[in-house]
Structure 1
Amino acid sequence: MIKKLSIKNFRGIEEVKDLEVDQFNIFIGDNGTSKTSMLEAIHFCFSPSFLSGRIKHTDFPNGNDNPIEIIVELKESIKVGIPDGYAEQEITCNKVLLQIKKRERKTPGKVFSDLVTLNHILIPDFPKNNEGWSIKRKNNSDFNFTERSLGINQIRTEELPRSFFFNKERDRQTQKGFNSSFSTIIDDLNWRFSRSVRKESEETGKPAEILGKIPLLTNEIAEKVGINKYEVFKEFNNRTKKFGLDEINLTILDSIAPYESAFLSSKKDVLDLPIKYLGSGIEMIVSLLFLETLATMSKEKLIILIDEPELHLHPRLQEQLADYLWQISSRKDGHQIFVTTHSPVFFKNCVGRSGVKTFVTNREEKTNKILINKMTFANRLFPWSPSWGEINYFAYKYPTIEFHDELYGYIQEKTKKHSEREIDEYFNQCGIKREKQWTREIKGTPQPTISVTLPVFVRNKIHHPENQTMKDILFTQEELKQSIEVLIDIVKNAKDFIND
């Protein structure tokens, strides 16, 4: 599993150095702050196949030529076998390095070349000498090797974790295709069927009984649609006869590989409904459960990367999924989870649990650089922190009237100043000027206009929509943010407020 992560010159990320992660990692922040790029960088680092063809020129920041570099440091060293002539030597490695450079010239002898060249290696956990690394063979001779021998496609290891990236198209792991878990299952089931049929034929000396049932079922289905009368096939076979070919029929069940067209489905009345029609949120959950079941049965550790797991899930399912992901990450030999999310529901159900780290991604205003920092509530505002208001404000810079109410009410409770006059006086003593005008109404009759602090004005507008005198005098989103900021300062500076 991953201990630290370093990324350089990948999409919007100029540099992230030695980011320490945990078993369950959550990235939250505004759009366009490279949350998804973090997940894809990890996935690229653990992807051994066809990686050069998946890199685009847009993966280099601003189209420049600076090489991409991704380094993953593992929590524990893994055993790796590297070629030594006709033999193999075992070493231990604790890092994966992926360097991607734009190709300077085309590959000799090829019309088309990949955009990039790769240096994708495992790094030993012992010191390097001037020429590479060296270990002793069993016969006490020196075995010297360089980076050339450490390519991720050349080494042998059973211990490097596999990564699975669930992007916004959730269905790949439940569809047939290259390197798909579902394809592995289908191939295994077809092999089991073939072996069983072959074994029965060898034992009885005649074709397996099931092979005689397949044409009967096919014919019964064909009769329902009148396939023998279907003009296309009648005309087609008239033409095949002229070439002396046997009759060609439409086969709906492969007797050699009966699972070839299989799909995961859910029974709805009498129909088998493919999971892709159950909604993309459900499809992602089914894909995840399917993948995790395979990994558990094979005692394999996974790095599971999910981009916005809350997509198309209602709040209750978001809570269930968040809880499930935490459970499979917190086991003794649990999987490692990385997710991006915009959902306070998903985040709220994870934060504060053991083994969970949250990172906030944002852009530095002056330099426009992507910053990724661990989110901490060590200096939390409330005893019940983090609240939804805090999450929305600190993670997404989104001020809400709910957060304003939460801060305002908490200050009133701690100061015991419950009347408008008392709390306004307290705010004024804290240095907040009375720069807003408020006209109170009593039974619909306007009273003399008074000057109040911004927090009192905002609070009154929220809680007194019935006030017709003030209905056209509104506060702006910027004023809401400004009021929240001064209330946060009050809570932070009043130390006796916190955690009591």
Structure 2
Amino acid sequence: MHLNSLKIKNFKGFSEEHNYLSFNTPTGEKGSGLNIFIGENNSGKSTVLEAIDFIRNSTKKDLNIIHHKSSTGESAQEAVIELEFIGEIFNVIETFAQSNKVESFREVTYQCQEGKDYFKISRSTSEIKVLKTWNQSNNSFTNTGGLDATIKKLFETNFIWADTNPNDEAAFGASTLCGTLLKEIAAEHAKTDEFLAFEERFNQIFNSQTSELRQKISVIEQKLNSIFTSQFGEASLNFQFDTPKIESFFKGSSILIDDGVQVKMDEKGSGMQRSVALALLQIYAEEIAFDQEKQLSRPFYLFIDEPEICLHPTGQMKLFDALLEISKHRQVFVTTHSPYFLNSRYLDKVGIFIFKKENHKNVISKANMDYFFPWSPTWGEINYKAYNLPTLDLHNELYGYLQEKSGKSNEREFETWLESQSCSKHKSWIKERNGTVLPSYSVTLMTFVRNHIHHPENITMQSFPYTLEELHQSIDEMIRVLKFNNYHIII
């Protein structure tokens, strides 16, 4: 059971128009379940994660903060989030839902194509406490009472936000990753002979009148009874010690890290703390969200806001590789600015969503709709589309690809071909050969930039560099030629 699509309306930076995301779902291939959100700051990447959190858990925030505001500052009247699931929904419901809720779920699960199961939920700010389900028979969302708690159980979200203290996630509280992980393990262990023996021994020490501790406590009980009966009449008081629940033993626990000196985790740097929190998240996905007996995964989704924070480049690359592995069978949602997350040979399997701000509205497009190369997407290509950032990598890729497609391998032939594509020779280039400066000759802007990239040793031309604007213009020109000749790839 996976997240298939999300619709956002009037939620924070997303306007009254429906904003639609169709997510990648795991296929068993590395990277297939990974969804990466990229774009400039304040373009809505983290808002998508907030929208998913909103539909599951509602919110206690002021609704004026949630509602989209127009350019005049006026707020919209209602924010609406719709989330659709796809996959083995019937099997998941029968395995993990309460038995008395199964039939109600069946009534709101439907099939649209290829025999696949679908299930859709919605929440709006006009009915903030109501989680609605899609009714295929009447083509509308309705309030199916009593399913909210079960839906939450089947829709387990795990967030690590950019501003989350990673030490909090690795703490042992009931709602933290570490606390939940150990609680799940402990719940099973509570049935073992070892723990039953512990419970028996606990009662012998704390509740048996023959124990040394209990005899000391009895002294206090007698004094308490004496004072109490003198004031309130005949009565008998005694202390009863209930066997503590197994998860309570973890509350005073901590993680020790030994990298030569053993200290508590909260004494380490933020990068190491965040790495531990992310590692716990991965283990949780592997250990908890799978029913060994029925060989079926409980729905489980990872949401990580800017995982590169506090991680050095090597750490970022290792983390990304771990997320690629997890995404073979799990859905992972990541917001990032890291170039190390955009420079992988598995990017063609990954769902890449580009966020931009246009006319005070967040706009989303999927990166794999219009590729430049057969080997797309590339790091340079994504940076160009997501951030409008021209890079030397993309310039080299475009120049070499156009040379290959045109069949013109040497500079002179390629320049002639570029002229035939309406590219003018308005720049001058001066070659150096064995320290001798040769006469200047006219070249296109594309070749001018390319020669600068490939011949940084040319001392003469170091005095005539290209500008960032010219790099941008050169890339734009090559993209124009690429598309004019239908060399680009349309998915």
Listed one character per residue, the Cα deviations across residues 355-404 of structure 1 (whole Å, up to 9, x for unaligned) are x422211233xx34321122216x53333322222222222221111221
Which residues of 2 match residues 167-178 of structure 1 at below 5 A? 167-168=161-162, 169=164, 170-177=166-173
Cα distance in structure 2, aligned partners of 1:445 and 1:345: 41
Aligned to 2:104: 90
1:496 to 1:406, Cα distance in 2 relative to 1, 3 A: closer
* Residue 376 of structure 2 is aligned to residue 375 of structure 1: no
Aligned to 2:156: 162
Which residues of 2 match residues 438-477 of structure 1 at below 5 A? 438-477=429-468
Q: What's the offset of the Cα at 1:151?
A: 6.7
1:100 to 1:56, Cα distance in 2 relative to 1, 3 A: closer
Q: What's the offset of the Cα at 1:495?
A: 4.8
Could you tell me which of 18, 24, 27 is aligned with 1:22?
A: 24
Q: Would the aligned equivalents of 1:122 and 1:152 in 2 still touch at CA under 8 Å? A: no
User: Which runs of no fewer than 5 residues in structure 1 stay unpaired?
Assistant: 102-116, 134-145, 213-254
Could you tell me which of 366, 386, 398 is aligned with 1:395?
A: 386
* Residue 289 of structure 2 is aligned to residue 296 of structure 1: yes
Q: Would the aligned equivalents of 1:96 and 1:120 in 2 still touch at CA under 8 Å? A: no
**Paired residue secondary structure (2:37):** strand
Q: What's the offset of the Cα at 1:152?
A: 6.1
User: What is the letter of the counterpart of residue 343 of structure 1?
Assistant: S
1:17 to 1:461, Cα distance in 2 relative to 1, 3 A: closer
What's the RMSD between the two structures over aligned residues?
Answer: 3.9
1:338 to 1:57, Cα distance in 2 relative to 1, 3 A: same
Cα distance in structure 2, aligned partners of 1:325 and 1:314: 16
* Residue 353 of structure 2 is aligned to residue 359 of structure 1: yes
* Residue 67 of structure 2 is aligned to residue 60 of structure 1: yes
User: What is the letter of the counterpart of residue 282 of structure 2?
Assistant: L
**Paired residue secondary structure (1:440):** strand
Aligned to 1:250: none
Q: Would the aligned equivalents of 2:390 and 2:471 in 1 still touch at CA under 8 Å? A: yes
**Paired residue secondary structure (1:95):** strand
Q: What's the offset of the Cα at 1:8?
A: 0.8
Aligned to 1:221: none
Q: Would the aligned equivalents of 1:11 and 1:58 in 2 still touch at CA under 8 Å? A: yes
Q: Would the aligned equivalents of 1:303 and 1:337 in 2 still touch at CA under 8 Å? A: yes
Cα distance in structure 2, aligned partners of 1:99 and 1:180: 28
User: What is the letter of the counterpart of residue 68 of structure 2?
Assistant: P
Q: What's the offset of the Cα at 1:157?
A: 5.1
* Residue 479 of structure 2 is aligned to residue 479 of structure 1: no
Listed one character per residue, the Cα deviations across residues 430-477 of structure 1 (whole Å, up to 9, x for unaligned) are 111112233334444444333321112112222333434333322221
Could you tell me which of 247, 251, 254 is aligned with 1:260?
A: 251
* Residue 405 of structure 2 is aligned to residue 424 of structure 1: no
| Identity rate, percent | 30
1:409 to 1:66, Cα distance in 2 relative to 1, 3 A: same
Q: Would the aligned equivalents of 2:183 and 2:247 in 1 still touch at CA under 8 Å? A: no
Q: Would the aligned equivalents of 1:43 and 1:164 in 2 still touch at CA under 8 Å? A: no
1:259 to 1:126, Cα distance in 2 relative to 1, 3 A: same
Cα distance in structure 2, aligned partners of 1:396 and 1:297: 39
Cα distance in structure 2, aligned partners of 1:376 and 1:475: 31
1:171 to 1:412, Cα distance in 2 relative to 1, 3 A: same
Cα distance in structure 1, aligned partners of 2:423 and 2:315: 44
Aligned to 1:411: 402
Which residues of 2 match residues 23-172 of structure 1 at below 5 A? 23=25, 24=33, 25-47=35-57, 51-55=58-62, 57-62=64-69, 64-75=75-86, 90-91=104-105, 92-93=107-108, 94-101=119-126, 118-128=128-138, 147=143, 150=145, 153=148, 156=150, 160-168=154-162, 169=164, 170-172=166-168
Q: Would the aligned equivalents of 1:11 and 1:61 in 2 still touch at CA under 8 Å? A: yes
1:300 to 1:371, Cα distance in 2 relative to 1, 3 A: same
Aligned to 2:481: 490
Aligned to 2:276: 283
Cα distance in structure 1, aligned partners of 2:435 and 2:136: 80
More helix by share: 2
Cα distance in structure 1, aligned partners of 2:411 and 2:419: 12
Q: Would the aligned equivalents of 2:181 and 2:288 in 1 still touch at CA under 8 Å? A: no
Q: What's the offset of the Cα at 1:38?
A: 0.7
1:34 to 1:265, Cα distance in 2 relative to 1, 3 A: same
Cα distance in structure 1, aligned partners of 2:247 and 2:4: 47
Listed one character per residue, the Cα deviations across residues 30-89 of structure 1 (whole Å, up to 9, x for unaligned) are 222101101111122122xxx43245633222361422111112225576999xxx9998
User: What is the letter of the counterpart of residue 477 of structure 1?
Assistant: L
Q: Would the aligned equivalents of 2:7 and 2:83 in 1 still touch at CA under 8 Å? A: yes
Aligned to 2:341: 346
User: Which runs of no fewer than 5 residues in structure 2 stay unpaired?
Assistant: 26-32, 109-118, 214-245, 292-296
Aligned to 1:310: 308
**Paired residue secondary structure (1:67):** coil
Q: Would the aligned equivalents of 1:295 and 1:302 in 2 still touch at CA under 8 Å? A: no
**Paired residue secondary structure (1:376):** helix
User: What is the letter of the counterpart of residue 450 of structure 1?
Assistant: Y
1:124 to 1:57, Cα distance in 2 relative to 1, 3 A: closer
Q: Would the aligned equivalents of 2:4 and 2:24 in 1 still touch at CA under 8 Å? A: yes
1:18 to 1:99, Cα distance in 2 relative to 1, 3 A: same
**Paired residue secondary structure (1:13):** coil
Cα distance in structure 1, aligned partners of 2:459 and 2:158: 57
Cα distance in structure 1, aligned partners of 2:66 and 2:136: 32
Q: Would the aligned equivalents of 2:254 and 2:264 in 1 still touch at CA under 8 Å? A: no
Cα distance in structure 1, aligned partners of 2:45 and 2:399: 33
